[in-house]
Structure 1
Amino acid sequence: MKIMVAIDESDGSLYALQWALDHLFLHQTTSTPPPEEAEPSMITVVHVQPPFQMPYTAVPVGPVLFATPAVMDSVKKAQEESAAEVMSRATKICEQQRIKAETMVIRGNPKEIIVEAAEQMNVDLLVVGSRGLGQIKRAFLGSVSDYCVHHAKCPVLIVRPPKSSHK
């Protein structure tokens, strides 16, 4: 079974990865190897970096600002460092469970890229976390998990974060 887990910087997405590892993979407690005919499950962890977009307004309010090459390089470096940190955390979670994972960092619109990657990789299951946006925020901002459910050609599992214990 090919499983793809989409992650971002949120704790909810890393929780979804942990949940998938805990619930979708059989952990071998004995030293007996699995039967030859059994195909090992494979997990791919994908992080999508949104493209850098210059802020703009429809009506000029003051002087127009353009990003210099130095600013663009700085933003790109910060994105790369953020992606490396996210993937490091994800890899550590997989290693703790003794599960090898393939990792990928892709640039683009997360909603569309996740669905495209799942289709190109021919995954059997796509796992995404849920940030728990309310109905109004979801209507205006959209939801990656909602988009995946409606556009992916494979089953999609949305893992909601546990309710906080503090009230």
Structure 2
Amino acid sequence: MIGLVMVGVDGSDPSRRAAEFARDLVNQLGARLIVLIAVEPPEVASFPFDGYSVRPVHPSPEQLAVANEIAHGLGLPADRLEIRIELGSPAETLRRIADEVQADLLVIGARGIGRAEALLLGSVSERVLRDNRRPVTVVH
């Protein structure tokens, strides 16, 4: 039985469609939904001396706006919706958090990139499908 669905979003049209699909699914099943936004850590140079400082990484105003817009747009009650903003690469963060919360299903959006770009760059959806042990639905 599916009781917990997690969807990865980044504000793109494919991820918005994935969030809408996930919302419709959890409504049909009476399940809970976690909306996950992964914040890529910035490149940080290391220095060979003491005394440097590293600022903590916080979500950007744009990422917070996406989270807020999606949370309100989905129309789910608060007891069935959780928004998480986590630090890390999208594919790895989706896998890690899905394992942590024991998600029954992951939902992700497909990117509209061509075969050549996918071979050169890879894609989040391809990595999630390849590296994940949980069921995954890719929404086009």
TM-score by length of 1: 0.69
Greater Rg over alpha carbons, structure: 1
* Maintained 8 Å contact 2:106/2:134: yes
Give structure 2 stretches of 5+ with no counterpart. Answer: 45-52
* 1:43-54 alignment, distance < 5 Å: 43-53=33-43
1:47 alignment partner AA: I
Local SS of the residue matching 1:19 = helix
Q: Which residue of 1 aligns with 2:50?
A: none
TM-score by length of 2: 0.81
* Maintained 8 Å contact 1:119/1:152: no
Local SS of the residue matching 2:60 = helix
Between the aligned partners of 2:60 and 2:81, the Cα distance in structure 1 is: 20
Match of 1:83 among 55, 63, 71: 63
* Maintained 8 Å contact 2:35/2:83: yes
* Maintained 8 Å contact 1:48/1:113: yes
Local SS of the residue matching 1:137 = helix
Give structure 1 stretches of 5+ with no counterpart. Answer: 28-39, 55-68, 161-167
- The superposition leaves residues 30-55 of structure 1 with CA deviations (integer Å, 9 ceiling, x where unpaired) of xxxxxxxxxx411000000111127x
Shift >4 Å, 4+ stretches: none
* Maintained 8 Å contact 1:118/1:152: no
Question: How much is the aligned-residue C-alpha RMSD, in angstroms?
Answer: 2.3
Between the aligned partners of 1:144 and 1:9, the Cα distance in structure 2 is: 14
1:114 maps onto 2:94 in alignment: yes
Local SS of the residue matching 1:132 = coil
* Maintained 8 Å contact 1:46/1:106: yes
1:48 alignment partner AA: A
Shift of 1:24: 4.3
